[in-house]
Chain A
């Protein structure tokens, strides 16, 4: 069923500073992930699978590769006669390039005002998950909430997330307090971490944007959410399925690697709620007689003549004879020659690694090789 009473807004640039060089030539939404996807595929596919017909993607700068990827929105079934996918570039209202959520929302206020739907979902691109937003909307309406924040119970990943927003809730999931940038309190039983996906009542969101603009507020979390805990009905919505929030290069590396586990892969990429992406016309992967491949994810277009262990190869990667790739991520179009060795390495797109080169990172500190380099 399509045409839910909900629109989606995706912030495609939020969090990109945390990934350093990986987002030098691209925005957060177009960071490659899991062999053939980009990060924005997750919020877009989730929205599409939840029947959301009107999706706005707020871009800031560096969004060329994102535009290439999105096209008309067809891969996500969002190329439609009514509504569909909208890319919302900066300066819509003639303001300066917005840098925070409030300015961004203000600059696209018309997009929200013009929509006939009554609820608005806000999402970032740094969260890997497969979620149905209908259930969240249902709970939002049932509880007559002003804001519903999707959250999960703290887990081991939290150790490395410096900026977690912790929701303190009562038994009905009503949020009583919000701790921002809080070091996670392990002893507390009731700490839930916000995943920065929120559903608002549309008119409330428009009011909030206007009020913030006129007061000069700039911090969405502190000035809007935290300050309204007592005046608005804010609820949490807990999800238990696989989620991974990426806020550092190491987390990017680990989140990719976690998909080599088939159970996690199956949970994230299930055929009932598929994650869609733009597809390329590549041949299926080709393995030669000499190759040795173990415990890896391999995409179309790869030609493998060497050894690959515990790694993820994106589309069109070539691995030459006697080369050994272990625990690494190699992005699309990269060519690896003979006798190379890579271990705990992230190689960005279209890089050429010539004969005999060796790169060794460590589990807690993977080496990053940037895009379109010849080594």
Chain B
């Protein structure tokens, strides 16, 4: 017997995140490094723990090795509990054959038995795609107060961007009367954040019903939500008003990292009342040499910095040698930047070595800096575990998949 849990959270972490290109070629999107020591999944997990939700099922499917290793038994988030805690839920073989998770709803459907163990009142459905700090317990209280069947978290987006989102049209009290998936003429600016709270008994019946519809794509946003609304389910929108960033593209991933360097963007990770938990690597403090110059940066442990860095995020164990310059870039764990390199508007992935006198992303950035508004840069991405040869000029490259002057490490 498992003790009853009021809320069970289901974290959808199986997506590929195709728009992130080579960042997610070997890595599930929730496992992408962020902010100098975190991975994206730290945010929903820490939000759960800080909201008092201690039973979290993490649904994994795409490239799960790094993600599973990172999650482990949930200890960094205090989710290594006797009952409940963190549970990795991967697709599995059944007596009548096995299936991959076909859509978000199908993934939950295949794990109904996991949720049933805890006999919860509500199920919270979240994803590992966004950077935000949110108290889910307030949303659940709102859900309970309204006696809602389903509550969807929404955030105000600028009207001109509203057509990129699923827009919810609501009455004043938040009761939803219409869905507009990527509308041409949005009637409101309330965009769905992909965070749902359901009454468990209701959700279960929705899922079983959806599974029996042959042509359903088994997706919450596309299938379940419109159908249950038309069936008269009581659905509310819960307004969220903090920092929230979808890191679905390389551009937005880069922006949200650099937002950490700007005190006015509203994301503060040094908030003792809302800690973001993560693995802390076992490395000594980082070293800043006499020749280096550091300006507006985040630098993690185990680094050895001899060059100049500006407006950049440096992850653990990075080495930057003499006379190298790094600007507006993200350097992921274990990367080595040899001497005399110039790196601008770039993302250098894990354990990549960039040899002497290389130029990465510079011209591209300068060209775009002059022409476009300051928010639009093309970002160069260097794949993980690659070796960039001496004197390599990648100043125009956008994505390096290891085919230009690059020798791949095996």
Contact = CB atoms under 8 A, between A and B. Distances in A.
Interface of A: 34-37, 75, 259-260, 262, 265, 269, 274-277, 279-289, 291-301, 303, 312-313
Interface of B: 35-37, 76, 269-270, 275, 277-278, 280-290, 292-301, 304, 314, 316
A279 B296 contact: no
Contacts of B297: 286-287
B270 A283 contact: yes
5 contacts: A281-B277, A283-B298, A287-B297, A295-B290, A296-B287
Contacts of B289: 262, 294-295
B275 A285 contact: no
| Interface core residue of A276, A280, A294 (most chain B CB under 10 Å) | A294
Contacts of A299: 285-286, 301
Contacts of A75: 282
A284 B37 contact: yes
A81 to B, nearest CB: 15
A263 to B, nearest CB: 11
A122 to B, nearest CB: 26
Contacts of B292: 293-294
Given A284-B298, A286-B298, A279 B288 contact: no
A291 B309 CA distance: 12
A291 B37 contact: no
A294 B292 CA distance: 7
- Considering the complex of A and B, which 10 residue pairs feature the smallest CB-CB distances, nearest first? A35-B285, A279-B280, A284-B36, A284-B300, A299-B285, A269-B284, A297-B285, A295-B290, A289-B296, A287-B297
Given A284-B301, A298-B285, A300-B300, 6 more contacts: A277-B282, A283-B298, A286-B297, A287-B294, A287-B298, A303-B270
Nearest to A316: B270
Contacts of A284: 35-37, 298-301, 314, 316
A113 B54 CA distance: 43
Nearest to B36: A284
A281 B295 contact: no
A260 B35 CA distance: 26
Contacts of A35: 284-285
A313 B299 CA distance: 14
Contacts of A289: 295-296
Contacts of A293: 288, 292, 294
A234 to B, nearest CB: 35
B266 to A, nearest CB: 16
A300 B281 CA distance: 11
A73 to B, nearest CB: 14
A178 B292 CA distance: 49
Nearest to B293: A292
Contacts of B300: 284-285, 300
B70 to A, nearest CB: 15
Contacts of A285: 286, 298-300
Contacts of A288: 296
A34 B285 contact: yes
A292 B384 CA distance: 31
A36 B282 CA distance: 10
A37 B294 CA distance: 25
| Interface core residue of A36, A280, A281 (most chain B CB under 10 Å) | A281
B295 A287 contact: yes
Contacts of B280: 279-282, 300
B284 A36 contact: yes
Contact of A298 (B37, B293, B299): B299
A135 to B, nearest CB: 23
Given A293-B294, A295-B289, A283 B269 contact: yes
A183 to B, nearest CB: 35
Contacts of A275: 284
B321 to A, nearest CB: 12
A237 B296 CA distance: 49
Contacts of A291: 294-295
A142 B277 CA distance: 48
Nearest to B285: A35
Contacts of B281: 279
Contacts of B277: 281
A262 B285 CA distance: 11
B299 A281 contact: no
Contacts of B290: 294-295
Nearest to B280: A279
Contact of A36 (B35, B278, B285, B287): B285
Nearest to B275: A281
A35 B296 CA distance: 22
A274 B282 contact: yes
